[in-house]
Amino acid sequence: MPALASRFAPARLLTICGLVLTLAATMFAGSVVSPNASHASALVSAERAGKAADWAKTRQGSPYRYGAMGPRKFDCSGLTRWAYKRVGKNLPHSSSAQARHVKRVKRSNARRGDLVFFSSRGGIYHVAIYAGHNRIWHAPYSGTRVRRDKIWSGNVFFGRVR
């Protein structure tokens, strides 16, 4: 009888695998995205991003404090996180982690409310909210306050929040 059992073991295994795959497909059917589906709906609208920029502007003059996320004191990623939270989007609290929550866009396609990431030697060291016209809202560094500045570096990339 052991020879008979070993002969049917692969068939049983395939049947079990088929059942598991069917169950998994049923459970995740609503979340599967076809390869040709547009991801545009997953990105924040221009109106919502613009409102995030407006929220950042309301914090003008707030002091910088490392690790602070508002509402009265901010670091750079704390400001972007706080502003986007006001429009219903949750972002992590670090510039490099926030970079993983955006879709990169060309500078020529950047719009108010997109995030601007500053990099050096392959690492991201600062994030800000694009205010339009080559300007940003940001919490620069210790001893300063939230303000609007010109983009001072060519080592930046723009990202649209997902």
Q: Which residue has the tokens 């919490």?
A: 139
Phi, psi for residue 128 in degrees, rounded to 5: -150, 170
**pLDDT the model gives residue 82:** 98
Q: Looking at the structure, do residues 97 and 69 belong to the same domain, yes or no? A: yes
**pLDDT the model gives residue 28:** 37
Q: The domain that contains 91 carries what CATH number? A: 3.90.1720.10
145 burial level (CB within 10 Å; 0-12, 13-18, 19+): middle
Phi, psi for residue 103 in degrees, rounded to 5: -105, 125
Query: Which tens digits make up the pLDDT trace of 8-43?
Result: 455 454 444 444 444 344 333 333 333 333 444 489
Compute the chain's Rg from CA coordinates: 23
**pLDDT the model gives residue 133:** 97
Q: Enter the tokens of residue 66.
A: 């490392």
Range of the domain at 14: 2-31
Which residues are annotated as catalytic?
A: 76, 126, 138
Q: Looking at the structure, do residues 52 and 21 belong to the same domain, yes or no? A: no
Which neighbouring-strand residues pair with 135? Answer: 132, 150
Q: Looking at the structure, do residues 79 and 123 belong to the same domain, yes or no? A: yes
**pLDDT the model gives residue 42:** 80
Tally of domains in the chain: 2
Q: Looking at the structure, do residues 54 and 126 belong to the same domain, yes or no? A: yes
Distance CA 155, CA 143 (A): 24
Query: Which tens digits make up the pLDDT trace of 90-143?
Result: 999 999 999 999 999 999 999 999 999 999 998 999 999 999 999 999 999 999
